[in-house]
Structure 1
């Protein structure tokens, strides 16, 4: 065998090994199953949360994460006896943050949908959101059929995006914004005629606008929300479900829901 042929084979083998290594690295986030014991040993947990979805997720006067989701995350840390680090996420990046190990789990107003369940594992529901079509009182919108000539805004990759896209007739102009705050501003400034949003976002708009300027047109969906865990994290999911069951039964989640939404926690399955 010549030296050049040997060198070529060595190089080919090296390239193949590097390619295999790159492939393994790409799937590295799922290589080892994390457990609650691992988190307790580390002494902390990193939780992703929306901060633009009041009252579920917002910021306080000190610009720190606050709201129902923040209180649920802190209650989870208290139950597990570990420090909680809350990382702000957006609607579009929250699942990627989880899947790439930037956060350990999501308490991020994430509605449980079949498509999302293909990417993450959901806990039992810990909250719910009613999504409505919200627009100017003077604009006649009785059902989804009336949307076609209108401009409808939604937060990109959100539950309301999915709901509006499903309900709107073909040809409806759907404008997608980075978050609920941007969609809200688009409605207030007249860039869109209506938006798909939660009833809590609608309440925020009503506070900022003159009385009777806007109204709920119709309900798009009531969606249960779950805490999201990476696939393969069975021990973490089991413990999160135990946390949800315990704090639903003892009324702690209802207290937090009353605090932030002024209503009882809906009956969730």
Structure 2
């Protein structure tokens, strides 16, 4: 085996996420002054996670995250350039400088905190196991022998993988929309998803078809930046604190989720 082949094999073993983590410190630091000089901030956002991220009638990014992204740009006096990302590629997009920050429903976890720098929470999501009402599921132990769908590399993927006993068939899809369709079409018996995704499914099927089986986890979500961007992180935290205190984030949360912004640590 050649030295080049050995190196490629090593990188493959690490996986893309780990490899990007290794190279992340070489990404250039960015400040608010840099962003203002550029005149715009490029923000990565999911568009398949309603009501946090979706598209409007003109196929433009919309939802709670879109409104938060636009509010951030307005506060800094720059244009918001919103770039659609997916669950699996959102962190790679950030670490390879394709976006400046992520306002992409990214749950704050210890594993992700090794790759990115999080702001204080600006939103929260409750993740549940959602399945057919006729399927008896009272807890994680009942998943043995069942097919459970999740969006790949998502919080629900992590939560289901951790909770499911041996013998559970976990099927991973590219996004929540694909997992949702898999449940409706009978490809899986249940899915791990946010309560907002569950509500979307409930609107599309006869009443009583599906139900929340149990809560997997409640996660706070943060705006993500590349590691080492202390000045930028401070400015984003000031944005979150200011717009939490003045009620602007709560107004947006009520607009999209019909509930008050949860109290978050």
- State TM-score, norm by structure 2: 0.91
Give every structure 1 segment of 4 or more consecutive aligned residues whose post-TM-superposition deviation is greater than 3 Å.
Answer: 26-29
Which of 102, 106, 116 is residue 120 of structure 1 equivalent to? 116
Picking from 141, 150, 161, the partner of 1:154 is: 150
Matched, 1:110 2:109: no
Shift of 1:29: 7.3
Structure 1 residue 80: Cα displacement: 0.4
- 3-state DSSP of counterpart to 2:120: coil
Q: Deviations over 1:67-104 (max 9, x none)?
A: 00000000000000000100000000000000000000
Match of 2:171 in 1: 175
Q: Deviations over 1:201-253 (max 9, x none)?
A: 00000000001000000000000000000011111100000000000000000
- Residue 32 (structure 1) aligned to one of 22, 28, 36: 28
Aligned residues: 244
The yes-or-no answer on 1:238 pairing with 2:223 is: no
Q: Secondary structure at the match of 1:37?
A: helix
1:30/1:232 contact within 8 Å kept: no
Instruction: Give runs of aligned pairs for residues 46-195 of structure 1, distance below 5 A.
Output: 46-195=42-191
Cα RMSD for the two superposed structures: 1.1
| 1:15 equivalent in structure 2 | none
Cross-structure match for 1:258: 254
For 1:85 and 1:209, locate their aligned partners in 2 and report how far apart those are by CA, in whole Å.
36
Bigger-Rg structure (1/2) = 1
Q: Secondary structure at the match of 1:163?
A: helix
Partner of residue 214 from structure 1, selected from 210, 217, 225: 210
1:6-45 alignment, distance < 5 Å: 27=23, 30-45=26-41
**TM superposition shift of 1:32:** 2.8
Deviations 1:48-83 (A, max 9, x none): 000000000000000000000000000000000000
Shift of residue 31 of structure 1? 4.7
Q: Offset at 1:28? A: 8.4
What stretches of structure 2 of length at least 5 have no aligned partner? 1-21
Q: Distance between the aligned counterparts of 1:131 and 1:77, measured in 2?
A: 29
Does the 8 Å contact 1:133/1:217 carry over to 2?
Answer: yes
- Conservation of the 8 A alpha-carbon contact between 1:49 and 1:89: yes
Q: Tell me which residue corresponds to 2:192.
A: 196
* 2:57 alignment partner, SS class: coil
Instruction: Give me the TM-score of the superposition, normalised by structure 1.
Output: 0.89
